[in-house]
């Protein structure tokens, strides 16, 4: 057995610390540190807090915290809280005579209520000017507004022009006849032109020499018997 409080105080003084410096070191208030050093454990919040403060303070001073905690637990065992014994309350019994009186009064009340209801049904005549019930019930259903979805736009695919029978002068404009020129030259036999999926206006000098397809399908407007230049929107 050793002196817990004096050992803590001696270790603090040996390190040149006052209580204010020990408070900064341990984050424990000075009054609680002073209570530990004087072993006034009753001034601390409780047994659990005292044990935690003691371990923290001893560790901060470089002491064997387990030894201090073990000494404290041996000298001051953890208190056991007493749990009060609560006896069940005795259920009060209703006397039989009172029970019979209550049952009789309830029966009389039910009979009176039933008699009044029956008399009302017998003596109450139907109203002379009561409106007849409606013969027809008309339900008005508001027509739902039908919004038609816009027709899907046609999907353009790659346009391919091949000179298969001879040379052909070709002019290509984007969008229409007044659009910017994107190609203008003579397509020689065996040559091929490819254009992306955009709307094109094309002028052919010798349309009978070319094969024009959009997405692999022939473009309408060019026939093998065509013998004059043509303009084509494809």
pLDDT digits (tens, 9 = 90+) for 27-85: 999 999 999 999 999 999 999 999 999 999 999 999 999 999 999 999 999 887 644 44
- CATH number of the domain within which 28 lies: 1.10.260.40
Please report the DSSP string for 43-110 in residue order.
GSS-HHHHHHHHHHHHHHTT--HHHHHHHHHHHSPPPPPP----PPPPPPPPPHHHHHHHHHHHHHHH
Q: 36, 59, 75: which is the final residue of a domain?
A: 75
Query: How many independent structural domains does the chain possess?
Result: 2
pLDDT in tens, 99-146: 676 777 776 665 556 555 555 444 445 445 556 666 655 555 555 576
Does the CA dihedral 125-128-129-135 come out positive or negative?
positive
Q: pLDDT per residue over 158-168, tens digit each?
A: 999 999 989 99
Of the residues 15, 47, 75, the one at which a domain ends: 75
Q: How many CA atoms lie within 13 A of 182 on its CB side?
A: 16
Residue 29 domain-assigned (yes or no): yes
* 173 vs 203: CA distance, rounded Å: 9
Question: Greatest CA span in the chain, whole angstroms?
Answer: 127
The answer to the question of residue 216 being in a domain is yes
Give a yes or no: residue 209 inside a domain: yes
128 occurs within a structural domain: no
In a domain, 91, yes or no: no
pLDDT number for residue 179 = 92
Q: Which of 60, 75, 90 is the last residue of a domain?
A: 75
The whole-angstrom separation of Cα 115 and Cα 118 is 5
41 domain residue, yes or no: yes
Residue 191: the pLDDT is 94
Average model confidence (pLDDT) across the chain: 81
What pLDDT was estimated at residue 105?
77
Residue 86 lies in a domain: no
Whole-structure pTM value? 0.36
Burial of 89 (0-12, 13-18, 19+ CB in 10 A): exposed
Question: Domain limits at 67?
Answer: 4-75
User: Is residue 119 one of the residues assigned to a domain?
Assistant: no
Q: pLDDT by residue (tens digit) across 84-108? A: 444 445 555 556 767 676 777 776 6
Asked whether the predicted pLDDT for residue 192 surpasses 90, the reply is: yes
């Amino acid at each position: 057995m050793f002196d817990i409080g004096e050992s803590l105080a001696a270790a603090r003084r040996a390190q040149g610390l006052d209580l204010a410096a020990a408070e900064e070191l341990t984050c424990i208030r000075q009054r609680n540190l002073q209570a530990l050093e004087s072993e006034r454990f009753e001034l601390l919040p409780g047994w659990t807090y005292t044990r935690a403060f003691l371990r923290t303070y001893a560790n901060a001073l470089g002491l064997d915290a387990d030894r201090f905690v073990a000494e404290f637990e041996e000298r001051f065992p953890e208190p056991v809280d007493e749990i009060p014994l609560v006896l069940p309350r005795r259920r009060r019994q209703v006397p039989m005579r009172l029970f019979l009186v209550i049952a009789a009064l309830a029966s009389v009340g039910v009979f009176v209520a039933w008699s009044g209801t029956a008399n009302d049904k017998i003596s109450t005549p139907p109203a002379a000017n009561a409106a007849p019930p409606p013969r027809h019930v008309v339900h008005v259903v508001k027509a739902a507004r039908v919004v038609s979805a816009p027709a899907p736009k046609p999907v353009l695919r790659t346009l391919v022009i091949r000179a298969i029978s001879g040379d052909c002068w070709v002019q290509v404009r984007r969008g229409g006849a007044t659009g910017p020129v994107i190609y203008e030259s003579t397509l020689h036999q065996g040559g091929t032109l490819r254009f992306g999926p955009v709307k094109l206006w094309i002028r052919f000098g010798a349309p009978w020499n070319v094969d024009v397809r959009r997405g692999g399908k022939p473009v309408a407007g060019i026939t093998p018997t065509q013998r004059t230049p043509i303009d084509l929107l494809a």
